[in-house]
Amino acid sequence: MTIASQTLRARVARFIDHPKFLIRCFLAFVAIRLAFVLFLPVQPSSDASWYLARGIVLSESGSYSQNGIPTAYWPVGYPAFLGLLFALTGPSLLAAKLANLAFAACSFWLLYFVVRSLSGAERAARGALLLLTVYPNHIAYTPLILTELLFTMLFLAACMCLLGKRTTMYIVLAGILVGLATLIKTQTILIGPALAFVAYCDHWRWKVALGAGIRAVVVGIVALLTIMPWSLRNYHVFGTFVLVSTNGGMALLAGNNPSVVGDYRIIFSDNDPLVAQARFSVADQVGADKRAAALAVNWILANPADFLSIVPKKVFWLWGPDGEAEWQYQAGTIFYDDTVRWFRSARIVNQAYYVVVILLFFWAFFRLVKSRPSGLRPYFGYILAGLLTALCIVFSGQSRYHFPVMPFAFAYVAWALTGMPRNCPNKPVTSLSCPTA
């Protein structure tokens, strides 16, 4: 290591270790995002306008419906939150955007405690917060009426419980949070219990694995009980069991048909023959969901080589691009065309930042493996990324799906840059921190 790099590392360390770093970083975190909320007007479009409309209807009538027809096409969690918020404030874009700021601020502190629980390293936790504070895509999401910030907050809270004390209260609370997060993104019901097993499996012994499995089952059961009132509502409305939403079949078809380009865009193509055969309508959404799922499964079984050939596309669309928040600005800001160079430049800077973080995330994995940790718990963030990738291979890849993984990427990058493997060469550990003597 050169003298210049040693000096730089020393300065960064002094900056992060400063007693007032946390409060200064938090104030900068909030100030940057508040400026976007107050001074960068963006009107909801596409998904955002749908969420806003459903939230307004919920606040006024208590009905989750579209054009007067009860729906469960998209998960109810975020529209339900907007409905509760608007019942207090009236329909207000500013209130929704300030709520996003509150979710982001909570995520700041949740990430701090998650990294502390996972690594036991204060400097790694502070480094992760710094990386999150200046992450352009996270900043850009703050004024957008989308699910990502609320979901990430709930997901981080669930992870904090899973990685925290192993008491009944923490396990039950983790299950409740997984259930609430599932009402926003349905796939969480699969990911949550799997991560519970990982969090509790901190040794390579069968008794530990058995205990982890039992706790994971408890988390799953509590999550299902949390969801159950909504599932009962769906049964009452549709006359059939619908766990959370009726868009699983369409999501499967979007990623598995001969016209697929690797991301979600095919679902909006009225000219696609398989999508047309699904005959989607709000009034017949359950039937359309079943038809779409059957069409997708039949296509996979009839074209296994084609299915495998589009897997790299799906993985690329999941992990390759970043900065998708720009799309909302492109559609919802009246001055976008006049300032397109600034938006494009910001997107390029964000993409460069993202690529560096992902490369360091991979590098940190090899550093972690080299340190020979015990059990699955130290690999928590990487297993999360693997589970998400597996789901995208089955369904479709979208860059926004990796949004809740980014805090964990920052955690591992910050941990690796603080040099734990160098300090603990060839010593088995049960977390990301060095074992005490």
Nearest to 407 by CA among 170, 165, 178, 118: 118
Read off the tokens for 397: 């890849």
CB 378 within 8 A of CB 431: yes
Question: In terms of DSSP H, where are the helices of 18-121?
Answer: 21-39, 47-61, 77-89, 93-119
Question: In terms of DSSP H, where are the helices of 201-247?
Answer: 206-238
Q: CA–CA separation, 190 vs 134, rounded Å?
A: 31
State the Cα angle at 386 between 385 and 391, rounded to 5°. Answer: 100
Distance separating the N- and C-terminal Cα atoms of the chain: 27
Q: CA–CA separation, 424 vs 437, rounded Å?
A: 11
Nearest to 346 by CA among 325, 316, 328: 325
Q: What is the DSSP letter of 37?
A: H
The total of other beta-carbon atoms located within 10 Å of residue 21's CB is 16
Q: CA–CA separation, 101 vs 221, rounded Å?
A: 32
CB 335 within 8 A of CB 391: no
pLDDT of residue 397: 85
- Helix, strand, coil shares of the chain as percentages rounded to 5? 70, 0, 25
Report the half-sphere exposure of 46 (CA within 13 A, side-chain side). 13
Nearest to 405 by CA among 378, 381, 379, 389: 381
Measured between alpha carbons, how far is residue 204 from residues 210, 321, 424, 428 in Å?
11, 36, 20, 11
Q: Which residues contact 4 (CB under 8 A, 6 or more apart)?
A: none
pLDDT of residue 4: 59
Q: CA–CA separation, 92 vs 87, rounded Å?
A: 10
Q: Along the 437 residues of the chain, how does pLDDT read in single tens digits?
A: 566 556 666 777 788 888 899 999 999 999 999 999 999 999 998 899 999 999 999 999 999 999 899 999 999 999 999 999 999 999 999 999 999 999 999 999 999 999 999 988 899 999 999 999 999 999 999 999 999 999 999 999 999 999 998 899 999 999 999 999 999 999 999 999 999 999 999 888 889 999 999 999 999 999 999 999 999 999 999 999 999 999 999 889 988 888 765 444 545 455 677 778 888 888 999 999 999 999 999 999 999 999 999 999 999 999 999 999 999 999 989 999 999 999 999 999 999 999 999 999 999 999 999 988 888 999 999 999 999 999 999 998 889 999 999 999 999 999 998 865 443 433 434 445 443 32
Q: CA–CA separation, 128 vs 114, rounded Å?
A: 10
Q: CA–CA separation, 386 vs 119, rounded Å?
A: 20
Measured between alpha carbons, how far is residue 183 from residues 105, 174, 187, 395 in Å?
21, 14, 9, 19
- Single-letter code of the amino acid located at 354: Y
pLDDT of residue 422: 40
